Amino acid sequence: MHRRDAIRNVAILLGTAISASTLSALESCTGSAPKNYDLHTPQTKAMVAEVADTIIPTTDTPGAKAAKVDEFIITMMNDCYKKEDQELFLSGLKKIDEASKKKFQKAFLELTPEQRTEVLTEIDKERVAYNKRDNKKDGDAAHYFQAMKDLTLVGYFTSEPGATQALRYVRVPGKYEGCVPYKKGDKAWAT
């Protein structure tokens, strides 16, 4: 199975679509992307960890921070994304901080989990509207929150805690069973 097919399958399991820019970056990960050392600052790492953990918080299963999704996001962004995408990502983190300051007069890292959720919910609504706009053209840059959300989902559901605790997981699957009963509330399968 090719990487693109695996990522698409994870997206289908999650009931979401991975953006074309994220899929493209994951497929062409060759280590030839320009290294962006701004991604490795303590402030950036903390911000990425908290944004990811707000997207997938700890509940009865570990959240994004416990799955070290922030490390995955920074590695993928630094090793696989073009310079323009890296810059969009970093400017997006600044925009999240600006939105926090505008709404709550505090930096994102100083907000309560409920306030963080409120800020990111508004930004996600903005992302959806941006993606559905009528004047959208091929080649337009993605919304700055798109890569953060996509990479959080991919990083989490391909991590050990995400695959084994948030999804149903069978270490060595048996024969193929095409029709397995599903009860409302059952977890999706990781394998």
* The two structure tokens encoding residue 29: 């990960």
Q: Read off the pLDDT band of 152 (50, 70, 90).
A: very high
Place of tokens 């280590």: 31
Structural domain contains residue 176? no
The pTM of the full predicted model, rounded to 2 decimals, is 0.73
pLDDT in tens, 88-105: 999 999 999 999 999 999
Domain that holds residue 20: 3-166
Task: Return d(Cα 7, Cα 113) in angstroms, integer.
Answer: 29
Q: How many domains does the chain have?
A: 1
Structural domain contains residue 38? yes
Q: What is the reported pLDDT for 186?
A: 82
* Burial category of 32 from C-beta neighbours within 10 Å (exposed 0-12, middle 13-18, buried 19 and up): exposed
